[in-house]
Amino acid sequence: MSSLETTLRPFIDSFEKADNASVYYQTNGLLIDEQKKTVTVGRDEINAVFAGWATLGKFTIKAANESFSGSEDTIRYAARHDIEFESAGKKLTFNVVQYWRRDGDHYLIEVERFNEI
């Protein structure tokens, strides 16, 4: 495990299990849907996007092909995420790239780009 992965892993694990994942974004964070060519700006707007997903019920995320690069101040995380919704029986797969910026003693997502596979 690289030192960048060791640094960021607790935040990623917590983010993937959070009921309110938008708190892991910077106040003016960006969520970029590359397929729809949309950009969601700010924690409140990102929260609204995730609220739509909440209607599908509880879900689990399985990450594959993870990579970590950058520096201790900004860590680039890339992976394939398989998201399975328990009650809806729906499964989605995304390529995800997140830029996590250090904010004091923790990290927040500054930019997330994703596209559904």
Task: Give DSSP secondary structure letters for 15-76.
Answer: HHH-SSGGGGEEEEEEEEETTTTEEEESHHHHHHHHHHHHTT--EEEEEEEEEEEE-SSEEE
**Which residue range(s) make up the domain with 79?**
3-116
Domain count, the chain: 1
Residues 49-87 have pLDDT tens digits of 888 877 777 888 899 999 999 999 999 999 999 998 887
The CATH number of the domain where 16 resides is what?
3.10.450.50
Residues 1-44 have pLDDT tens digits of 799 999 999 999 888 876 778 899 999 999 999 999 999 999 99
User: Which residues, 6 or more positions from 85, have their beta carbon under 8 angstroms from its beta carbon?
Assistant: 56, 57, 58, 59, 91, 92
Instruction: Place 90 in a pLDDT band, splitting at 50, 70 and 90.
Output: confident
Query: How long a stretch of residues is the chain?
Result: 117
Task: Measure CA 97 to chain center.
Answer: 8
Burial class (CB in 10 A: 0-12, 13-18, 19+), 93: middle
